[in-house]
């Protein structure tokens, strides 16, 4: 009988495009989510936690950048004996689930319905540097009102949120545009073919990379890219291309000047004029709340997912410079975006339900704060109560309980206590600020040893023997003064 082969051990590695998060990273994200949702709550939005799994049918065809409903998502067919189970998928954003929630529960919800939500989303797309298949978003949306006051409010809230989490004025700008203005430009160009419209819109999206001359080439016959490859153009005449160029170069020194230039770009287009009027109203509402152009500005270069939005769109961009992987200076870029989407709920109800909202990329925002040195990569661990005598475990547990009751993060060492050096190595690996030491001698005398691990590390690095003797990092105090002494050391460290 042949010897049965053992099953190979699975590889201990995360799937491609995913990663694990530890200690300080999780704590930083939790704190950022607390700050963001605190602003959302202050603006009157209510929390919602919807399912991470939706039917593919429910998610619909609105997944950005793809043509087919189930492309780009992690999907599977629910098991049914007859083989007709629903296709399910992990949510790719937090907006599509909101459309389903509102349609399902609209009779029980207030109108307008204002909600915020946060959590991971999943995209089945090619990962790259800093681009993962799972990431966190934090959204706020208003469903059930067509008033552009809702759009203005979202932009104001986005500005307040960035400042709340530590991005000061001058390091960010919220830019606003309107999909209706873009439709007006297409109308002024006389472009009615949907495929050609899509190509024009994709070309508009490349303006920040190729500039005015590059856009003119791409709208016409085409151009050579940086690699030398030839990119076919849309095939428009110079006359047809002119409204696009006028639109992309219409940003003026003030919102009023930009609006004037946009009116020239859309010409007699009714929908374009309607979009410009909406932008003007948003600008007036923001000015009434003292949000100036140093924080929020009308900017025709904002495009976002054009197939998704139906009206105003907005994007928060961080304007400070960072170094890329090749050491070149570049702006950090976008960390949040959103806009008006009046067609999502209609898929379920058959009736148009106006809605607008914003999504903040939490992981990108955390990365930005790290770039600016506004987040520490170091987390303080718990106070560690070491174990010198296993028979006195109840006494050690009493100590740690007293520390916790005083609001101090603390733990008892629960590994093998035989080697005391290993206990201190453990405390060092945990980034513990203080170690509490007590053996039978200390218990008999009613004393406890308290070691300042932060000071001890500094002394070990830099001090001479005389300095070390003059500034001890370990203290012997009465057992009754344990909590007070630990508190004192922690305050000095802070």
Give the tens place of pLDDT for each residue, 426-472.
Answer: 999 999 999 999 999 999 999 999 999 988 777 766 655 555 555 67
Domain with residues 23-371, CATH architecture:
2-Layer Sandwich (3.30)
Let me know: does 357 contact 95? Beta carbons within 8 Å. yes
Name the fold adopted by 383-493: Rossmann fold (3.40.50)
Tell me whether strands 312-323 and 329-340 are parallel, antiparallel or unpaired: antiparallel
> What was the pLDDT predicted at 477?
96
Which whole-number Å values give the CA distances from 8 to 1, 3, 5, 179, 258, in the listed order? 21, 15, 9, 55, 65
Q: Which residue has the higher pLDDT, 441 or 207?
A: 441
Question: What distance in Å separates the CA atoms of residue 332 and residue 320, rounded to the nearest whole number?
Answer: 6
Q: Which two tokens stand for residue 18?
A: 């995913």
Q: Which two tokens stand for residue 304?
A: 């976002």
Place of tokens 């029980």: 108
Let me know: does 479 contact 449? Beta carbons within 8 Å. no
The residue-averaged pLDDT of 204-212 equals 80
The residue-averaged pLDDT of 243-250 equals 86
Q: Is the pLDDT of residue 323 over 80?
A: no
**Rounded to a whole number, what is the distance in angstroms from the first to the last CA of the chain?**
69
Percent of the chain beyond pLDDT 90? 58
- Out of 320-329, 336-345, 464-473, the most confident range is 336-345
> What was the pLDDT predicted at 265?
87
Let me know: does 412 contact 396? Beta carbons within 8 Å. yes
> What was the pLDDT predicted at 401?
97
Query: Rounded to the nearest 5°, which phi and psi values hold at 487?
Result: -60, -45
Question: Dihedral of the CA atoms 5, 11, 17, 22 (nearest 10)?
Answer: 150
The mean pLDDT value of the chain amounts to 88
Q: Per-domain residue ranges for the chain?
A: 23-371, 383-493
> What was the pLDDT predicted at 223?
84
State the pLDDT confidence band at 4, using cuts at 50, 70 and 90.
confident
Let me know: does 251 contact 258? Beta carbons within 8 Å. yes
Q: Where are the beta strands (DSSP E) in 276-391?
A: 296-298, 312-323, 329-340, 355-361, 383-385
> What angle is formed at CA 49 by the lines to CA 43 and CA 52, rounded to 5 degrees?
135
Which whole-number Å values give the CA distances from 217 to 190, 201, 247, in the listed order? 18, 14, 16
Question: What distance in Å separates the CA atoms of residue 371 and residue 27, rounded to the nearest whole number?
Answer: 18
pLDDT in tens, 252-311: 999 999 999 999 988 889 999 999 999 999 999 999 999 999 999 999 888 776 567 899
Percent of the chain beyond pLDDT 70? 92
State the pLDDT confidence band at 377, using cuts at 50, 70 and 90.
low
Question: Dihedral of the CA atoms 193, 198, 201, 206 (nearest 10)?
Answer: -130
Alpha helix ranges (H) inside 43-117:
56-59, 95-105
Phi-psi region of 30 (alpha: psi -120 to 50; beta: other; left: phi over 0): alpha
Q: Which two tokens stand for residue 16?
A: 């491609």
Give which of 395, 494, 373 is closest to 444, Cα–Cα. 395
Let me know: does 162 contact 332? Beta carbons within 8 Å. no
The residue-averaged pLDDT of 30-38 equals 95
Q: Which residue has the higher pLDDT, 241 or 450?
A: 450
Q: Where are the beta strands (DSSP E) in 239-340?
A: 296-298, 312-323, 329-340
Question: What's the pTM?
Answer: 0.84
Question: What distance in Å separates the CA atoms of residue 141 and residue 114, rounded to the nearest whole number?
Answer: 6
Give which of 182, 210, 142, 154 is closest to 299, Cα–Cα. 182
């Amino acid at each position: 009988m042949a010897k049965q082969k053992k099953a190979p051990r699975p590889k201990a590695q995360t799937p491609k495009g995913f990663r694990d998060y530890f200690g300080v990273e999780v704590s930083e994200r939790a704190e950022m989510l607390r700050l963001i949702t605190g602003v959302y709550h202050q603006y009157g939005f209510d929390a919602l936690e919807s399912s991470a799994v939706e039917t593919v049918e429910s998610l619909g065809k609105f997944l950005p950048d793809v043509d087919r409903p189930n492309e780009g998502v992690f999907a599977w067919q629910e098991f049914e004996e007859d083989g007709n189970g629903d296709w399910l998928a992990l949510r790719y954003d937090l907006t599509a689930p909101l459309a389903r929630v509102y349609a399902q529960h609209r009779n029980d919800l207030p109108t307008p319905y204002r909600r915020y939500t946060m959590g991971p989303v999943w995209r089945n797309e090619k990962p790259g540097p800093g681009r993962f298949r799972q990431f966190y978003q934090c959204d706020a949306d208003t469903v059930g009102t067509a008033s552009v006051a809702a759009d203005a409010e979202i932009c104001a809230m986005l500005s307040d949120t960035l400042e709340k989490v530590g991005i000061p004025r001058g390091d960010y700008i919220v830019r606003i545009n309107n999909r209706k203005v873009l439709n007006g430009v297409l109308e002024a160009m006389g472009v009615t073919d949907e495929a050609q419209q899509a190509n024009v819109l994709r070309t508009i999206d490349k303006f920040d990379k190729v500039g005015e001359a590059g856009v003119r080439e791409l709208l016409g016959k085409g151009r050579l890219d940086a690699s030398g490859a030839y990119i076919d153009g849309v095939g428009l005449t110079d006359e047809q291309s002119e409204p696009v160029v006028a639109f992309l170069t219409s940003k003026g020194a003030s919102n009023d000047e930009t609006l004037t230039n946009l009116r020239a770009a859309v010409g007699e287009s009714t929908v374009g004029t309607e979009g410009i009027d909406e932008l003007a109203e948003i600008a007036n509402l923001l000015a009434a709340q003292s949000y100036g152009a140093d924080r929020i500005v009308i900017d025709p270069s904002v495009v976002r997912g054009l197939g998704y939005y139906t009206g105003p769109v907005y994007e928060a961009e961080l304007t400070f410079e960072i170094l890329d992987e090749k050491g070149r200076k570049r702006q950090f870029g976008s960390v949040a975006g959103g806009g008006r989407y009046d067609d999502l709920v209609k898929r379920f109800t058959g009736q148009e339900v106006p809605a607008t909202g914003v999504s903040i990329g939490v992981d990108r925002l955390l990365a930005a704060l790290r770039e600016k040195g506004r987040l520490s990569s170091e987390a303080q661990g718990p106070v560690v109560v070491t174990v010198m005598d296993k028979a006195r475990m109840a006494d050690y547990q009493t100590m740690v309980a007293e520390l916790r009751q005083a609001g101090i993060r603390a733990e008892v060492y629960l590994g093998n206590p035989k080697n005391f050096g290993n206990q201190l190595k453990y405390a060092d690996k945990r980034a513990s600020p203080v170690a509490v030491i007590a053996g039978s001698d200390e218990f008999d005398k009613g004393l406890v040893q308290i070691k300042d691990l932060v000071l001890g590390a500094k002394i070990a690095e830099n001090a001479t023997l005389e300095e070390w003797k003059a500034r001890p990092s370990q203290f012997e105090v009465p057992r009754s003064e344990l909590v007070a002494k630990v508190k004192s050391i922690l305050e000095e460290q802070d």
